[in-house]
Amino acid sequence: MLHQVLAVAWELTKRSAISAIASIAVFLVGAGLMHTIGFRQVKRPVFVPNGAGDLFQSICSLAFGSPLLMAFLILNEYKPICQAYVGPIGPTWPAYAWWLLSVPLYLWLWDLVFYCTHLVLHTKPVYDYSHHKHHAFRPPTAYSAIAIDPLETILSGLMPFVIPLFIAPFHLPTVFALNGMAMWVSKAAPLAAP
């Protein structure tokens, strides 16, 4: 029993470290590119050493969320609680057809869950406790898109990722790819506004 617990703890530690490093690297490259080639010139510092800056808050959000997401996925491997699958997509036509349909369905469900959780973030008690910190980064930059605290990381970072997996079977590598692309797109959104 203890051996199993230690093995799972070690697996969680490894996956969390890999996930955190990979997500922070993708974030730094994407946000750095968007900040460099973006249309908006920001006159305020985004690299604040005392922990109040966009960049620091975003990295903390990714470092906090990665172990939670990995814990959910490891739990699902040992005791399946959702409909995510990892195996090959094919080789039959219905499997490919479902995969093609599942991509826009997952994105729609992700967006629906994000919208609902964002409404919760804008209720007065939650906004005053958590979400106002995210809106304090004015004007928004590519670095402030995910500069959020732990409660907001759970509500708007993890729940949109995880809840669709309970609704329909989704190919987990595709889900990771879609979320990675969404992170890149979120870096460009603050730059589009004048």
Tens of pLDDT, residues 121-140: 999 999 999 999 888 888 88
DSSP conformation letters of 39-62: SPPP-S-S--TTTTSHHHHHHHHH
Contact present, 20 and 90 (Cβ < 8 Å)? no
**Bond from prior residue into 125 cis (ω within 30 degrees of 0):** no
How many Å apart are CA 28 and CA 112, to the nearest integer?
27
For the cut 60, the answer to whether the pLDDT of residue 99 exceeds it is yes
Share of the chain above pLDDT 70, in %: 89
How many Å apart are CA 82 and CA 192, to the nearest integer?
36
Angle at 134 between CA 48 and CA 41, to 5 degrees: 60
Q: What local confidence, expressed as pLDDT, does residue 49 receive?
A: 59
Q: What local confidence, expressed as pLDDT, does residue 55 receive?
A: 85
Q: What local confidence, expressed as pLDDT, does residue 27 receive?
A: 86
56 or 163, which is more confident: 163
Q: What local confidence, expressed as pLDDT, does residue 45 receive?
A: 73
Residue for token pair 């990979």: 22
Q: What local confidence, expressed as pLDDT, does residue 40 receive?
A: 67
Q: What local confidence, expressed as pLDDT, does residue 94 receive?
A: 84
**pTM (predicted TM-score):** 0.85
